[in-house]
Structure 1
């Protein structure tokens, strides 16, 4: 008796007729644009946050709003890509369940590339979503893994586009290369689908981008931060309590500046030095940003007093007991910038404890995690 053939598994079924190459291509155009913006701005963000040694002294402080723009675009494009990715998967899902799953070596490689593409896209977008709400239900460090997988995603996208180039070219518009219009009885339904998907992506963008683009802050309904809600009108990610900076640890605080001519300053003595005020944005890696008026002493003046040579970099040490950014290094371009301050005041008031009292770093075009709070020591490098 011959063995009975294995039954073919039935793929999940959704109503609708638009699981076709043209729909997939139309959604893919939008998704590709969002992923490209997200990837490029993510690379900028990473190298501003963790520059390699050869780049550390060359990072520019201008424009002062550069990081605010790039990180705002990064988070906004990533959020907009989520509904676009779901629509793309809906359009192509029958092809994910073809039977037999592998027909040849070439088909196996194509299936493997698609699996990598889908897995990395889902991983990047949804771990990024959890990052902006500061929830980390995984054992690995988010930043290096997110950056590494971004390159895998970029490579898998390029490979997928290369493999599917003939299909993409044929279905890019109603006319394939130089031929008459292709018949399309589902054009009206497809337009409705694309309008719905575009509206979903637009709604996500409009209700979150206000955390960085403050003219739309009144529509900031879904973002985890509101740009004008927080102590002294500026949001806070890490509080003094979370950093274990207490009144006892601040008692007798003095700023230590180490260099060829090391010295120490008490807070009253620091406040008596020539003061500078600057309006600068503080922009967080989670996507929120806001401009504020900061007042304090220029870092370059403090370093010159310690005998630092021109263009010297500086290491900044916080009172924070522990944390990934307790110690921060700042290249010569930032340290010598006249707008880089050891800030003592925010919006005309003495810094609150959650904003880094008694002193914090504020520098132009720099990620918020590197605007070190509760500064206790500067070291000329």
Structure 2
């Protein structure tokens, strides 16, 4: 019996078969979102044991995985709403606890629902670059994903027999169930089609609800952190790139421009879910390493001119440093970098998160 103080929604769709169908869709979206999220976390902040195994190929690897992460995360929002509506009466069944086993099951559901709500909506706010909370987003998002995964396994174990019973299509279905599932499908389709274009080029014209249109911005590319925010609007007139290694040296911008120049076509792919390809021209980082006398297998510590920020210093594993597509870029789409895009020089490398494509480079140190 449910207390009268709680709202009552009378519908024949508050039943197991509908919950199982929505749960399958939601589970598939969350599985893709969880796995691609692990890839993103590993590329942004890899543990030491994983670093030697990171690869600069495929070139668009991070673009695809992070795009899928955000696309499935956004699609999971209406799916989660539909799932919670379907099981609403069970969430507030009375009495709330009917024994030790039931208490553990209810605790698992509480952890699952709370973690999923926080995970999806903090992720949604991240796509908007809006952080109205005091805790660090990335670390919190990572551990909430594991809490949600744990809660989901507990829930599946507790409800396994009921899920199995209603997994197959019944001989006679509710007419309103078809309409409800069609409405949920339409909602997911609208959300996906109007947001996925920030990553998927052929859907770009439909980005009505996407936080970013990736082809708009200075020099045809969006900017997450501007030169004003980083305190790098004015670059010292005597700026020289410092390269530290067994044979350290310094290069002025004019000297960098006199070195062999290469052009690559690579995307900027950001954790918020948008990505866009551009033509980058500059000096190969591998050539700078050779000139510094770097031993084989050396990585880099790259330091930016910005005064502070979590990515002021960035470590680049050897796999990326020696890749011929990794550049110290001086131009974008044939134009000299603007301040917002990292003038006088920035890093561009394949299969790397945008936050690791360091702008306003001041120093390269062989490690």
Task: Give distance in 1, aligned partners of 2:147 and 2:111.
Answer: 8
Q: Deviation of residue 10 (structure 1)?
A: 3.8
1:206 to 189, 193, 198: 193
1:263 to 249, 261, 269: 249
Question: 5 Å matches for 1:208-247?
Answer: 208-247=195-234
Task: Give distance in 1, aligned partners of 2:264 and 2:88.
Answer: 53
Q: Deviation of residue 17 (structure 1)?
A: 1.9
Number of the residue aligned with 1:174: 169
Number of the residue aligned with 1:96: 91
Q: Secondary structure at the match of 1:339?
A: coil
* 8 Å Cα contact 1:11/1:94 also seen in 2: no
5+ residue gaps, structure 1, are: 1-6, 176-180
Question: 5 Å matches for 1:308-347?
Answer: 308-347=294-333
Q: TM-score, normalised by structure 2?
A: 0.98
Task: Give distance in 2, aligned partners of 1:198 and 1:235.
Answer: 31
Number of the residue aligned with 1:250: 236
Worse-superposed segment, 361-370 or 45-54: 45-54
Task: Give distance in 2, aligned partners of 1:8 and 1:209.
Answer: 43
Q: TM-score, normalised by structure 1?
A: 0.94
* 8 Å Cα contact 2:263/2:280 also seen in 1: yes
Task: Give distance in 2, aligned partners of 1:33 and 1:290.
Answer: 27
Number of the residue aligned with 1:193: 180
Larger radius of gyration: 1
* 8 Å Cα contact 1:48/1:366 also seen in 2: yes
1:135 and 2:136 are equivalent in the alignment:
no
2:56 to 48, 55, 61: 61
Task: Give distance in 2, aligned partners of 1:33 and 1:158.
Answer: 14
* 8 Å Cα contact 2:105/2:154 also seen in 1: no
Number of the residue aligned with 1:86: 81
Number of the residue aligned with 1:3: none
Q: Deviation of residue 215 (structure 1)?
A: 1.1
Q: Deviation of residue 363 (structure 1)?
A: 0.2
Q: Deviation of residue 174 (structure 1)?
A: 2.0
Task: Give distance in 2, aligned partners of 1:215 and 1:124.
Answer: 29
Number of the residue aligned with 2:269: 283
1:70 and 2:65 are equivalent in the alignment:
yes
Q: Deviation of residue 15 (structure 1)?
A: 4.5
Number of the residue aligned with 1:152: 147
1:361 and 2:347 are equivalent in the alignment:
yes
* 8 Å Cα contact 1:56/1:330 also seen in 2: no
Q: Deviation of residue 9 (structure 1)?
A: 4.2
Number of the residue aligned with 1:348: 334
1:51 to 39, 46, 60: 46
Number of the residue aligned with 1:4: none
Matched pairs, number: 367
* 8 Å Cα contact 1:316/1:375 also seen in 2: yes
Q: Deviation of residue 14 (structure 1)?
A: 2.4
* 8 Å Cα contact 1:234/1:290 also seen in 2: yes
Offset from partner CA, 1:313-341 (integer Å, 9 cap, x none):
10000001110100000001001111000
Q: Which runs of 4+ in 1 moved over 3 A?
A: 7-10
Task: Give distance in 1, aligned partners of 2:160 and 2:28.
Answer: 16
Offset from partner CA, 1:260-282 (integer Å, 9 cap, x none):
00000000001100111100011
5+ residue gaps, structure 2, are: none
